[in-house]
Structure 1
């Protein structure tokens, strides 16, 4: 008999087919209205939930799913899943560390280079027939200073790309220094922002990191500094960022994630010194395939009575 699986995130038809082929009866609920209606109507039968860190699953929703056994988060993040409530109910929670690290690091460098060289703006100007107007000097990347907030797996991959690919000096800020790390450690985020030319946000989301990038950090980054965020929108104070960009207190920003996405503030979209992508850093075909494979493996292990591969700690 097929196992009822509630899917709260958008998946390609091929991914849905793989889940169905693995023995799951899918209940798709990718909008808030559909989610509420499906949990109300089908919650009592749901055995598993597929979500991600930003979509999450609340304690009240778990209460409505008496048969719930496992929650799988696609990707490494799980900040909006009430893990404590799940554990209290004996529900297993898994995530996907390592499945999309390289893809996210690649996208971080893509955004960094695009922001520094003004690629989207130059492309748009050429298409408007403004050839000479688009030929403005733009900063180099090679030899510059790369600051990283959060030197986890993704942060370390970004650091290697910067140091080994572009001969960049690298520094980072964590709550504590990383043991054995040879990159410069900055004990405060303001110090890191003052030091670097490019500040890349690679820290997890959640209440503990909300608005770490605030007005003081953006001022410290300075009029020649760039901010790149491939982590979570909540880490950056969006209104402070808009104000800094409007006043040209910083050179620019490139964001794959924004607070409240997919609803983006009109003031942010109107700026020509910001690049926006729709939370796609981890959505390369290779990363998507690896992430789904790990979800399937975790589900298979759990319903076979075996330990899951990547439980949330």
Structure 2
């Protein structure tokens, strides 16, 4: 059996090597001619899977190692009887840690008081609900909205948009009763206050980037943090220069999350083939480069927490890389955006780091556990 796959999917050969011959290609360059005799297609979000790609192929199964499926024409696949799967929630923890890293940095740069702010969460799926759970454990107030869920704890979109900090965690949709395409447009932006903060780590077109660019012209003190952009990799350079933090679509790019996405698609393909799944991510994940940190019992709680978060993941590193690329000519800049993602550093999640507490400080112990660190006391 022949498997055509995006070359940037981690541990591809280790998971799928037993199931067939693997042809690895750059995700944006997978074409119909590569699939004429392929049985399975394994992709990421950069590959558009539709009639044009699959019409003359022998593909029976499509797997995307991502949480979203807006890059897949599921109607066409259903019509053709082609099985497909995604990896819902695989990078939820990674995205939550991106938001937590942003919050940590804002406490330093904006004197953000996490004890008094309210975080607004738009979208209460795998990522939004996990963020809410993490915030609740940390004692940070939040409000969340999701029109598709019948949950008395949820509030209206309008109420969430009045929160001090707003974090978007929705799929991209252009149809239905609650489309998210350009959900944040000129009208919504003009309802926001200059001191509010907006984070988008979901999908680029959820925010009308041109409207946000114009809004920041008139409200330069407004704080926008973007990990995702319209028309990637051809992002709006003016906007990228104006945002407080801008990163190249890497919020969900922890190595742990990417490997889990590979594993989820592998298991789905094994099920499709009626075979037992013999591999799991635990077999392949090595100890992270930063594996241990120690704090004494008299260490300041806030200092300790923010030191640990930033040691594991400081988004300003990725921001600086993107900013440096903005000086390049168009084609080189677009290539750099993809290159950042292709060659992204091996960022590990908090759970891979052992926190050693010398003499137990109950508050510090609780905070580290709430963040997901592996605490030893």
Provide the TM-score with structure 2 as the length reference: 0.67
Partner of 2:258: 288
Give 1:229 shift. 0.9
Structure 2: how far apart are the matches of 1:18 and 1:295? Answer: 13
Q: Taking structure 1 as reference, are residues 31 and 102 closer, same or farther at Cα in structure 2, changes over 3 Å only?
A: closer
2:116 to 143, 148, 165: 143
Structure 2: how far apart are the matches of 1:206 and 1:8? Answer: 24
Residues 104-129 of structure 1 deviation map (CA, whole Å, 9 limit, x = unaligned): 111122224334643xxxxxxxxxxx
Give 1:256 shift. 1.5
Q: Taking structure 1 as reference, are residues 9 and 214 closer, same or farther at Cα in structure 2, changes over 3 Å only?
A: farther
- 1:27 correspondence with 2:23: yes
Residues 212-259 of structure 1 deviation map (CA, whole Å, 9 limit, x = unaligned): 011122222210111111111111110111122222266211111111
Contact 1:115–1:252 (Cα < 8 Å) also in 2: no
Structure 2: how far apart are the matches of 1:305 and 1:19? Answer: 13
Contact 1:147–1:199 (Cα < 8 Å) also in 2: yes
Q: Taking structure 1 as reference, are residues 148 and 270 closer, same or farther at Cα in structure 2, changes over 3 Å only?
A: same
**DSSP-derived class of the 1:45 partner:** coil
Structure 2: how far apart are the matches of 1:146 and 1:28? Answer: 41
- 1:6 correspondence with 2:9: no
Structure 2: how far apart are the matches of 1:235 and 1:83? Answer: 20
Contact 1:150–1:202 (Cα < 8 Å) also in 2: yes
Contact 2:9–2:262 (Cα < 8 Å) also in 1: no
Structure 1: how far apart are the matches of 2:169 and 2:59? Answer: 32
Contact 1:147–1:172 (Cα < 8 Å) also in 2: yes
Q: Taking structure 1 as reference, are residues 255 and 116 closer, same or farther at Cα in structure 2, changes over 3 Å only?
A: farther
Gaps of 5+ in 2: 277-377
1:198 to 165, 181, 196: 165
1:114 to 105, 118, 124: 105
Match runs of 1:182-197 below 5 Å: 182=153, 184-186=154-156, 189-193=157-161, 195-197=162-164
Give 1:160 shift. 2.0
Partner of 2:222: 251
Aligned residues: 273
Structure 1: how far apart are the matches of 2:106 and 2:223? Answer: 7
Q: Taking structure 1 as reference, are residues 172 and 249 closer, same or farther at Cα in structure 2, changes over 3 Å only?
A: farther
Residues 267-298 of structure 1 deviation map (CA, whole Å, 9 limit, x = unaligned): 02222x42112222222122122111111111
Give 1:176 shift. 4.1
- 1:105 correspondence with 2:96: yes
Partner of 1:56: 48
**DSSP-derived class of the 2:48 partner:** coil
Contact 1:115–1:274 (Cα < 8 Å) also in 2: no
Gaps of 5+ in 1: 119-136, 307-313
Structure 1: how far apart are the matches of 2:261 and 2:116? Answer: 34
1:175 to 138, 147, 153: 147
Structure 1: how far apart are the matches of 2:46 and 2:147? Answer: 22
Structure 1: how far apart are the matches of 2:148 and 2:220? Answer: 29
**DSSP-derived class of the 2:43 partner:** strand
Give 1:25 shift. 2.0
Contact 1:4–1:47 (Cα < 8 Å) also in 2: yes
Cα-Cα RMSD: 2.3
**DSSP-derived class of the 1:93 partner:** strand
- 1:157 correspondence with 2:99: no
Structure 1: how far apart are the matches of 2:135 and 2:16? Answer: 41
Structure 2: how far apart are the matches of 1:143 and 1:256? Answer: 25
Partner of 2:87: 96
Contact 1:100–1:287 (Cα < 8 Å) also in 2: yes
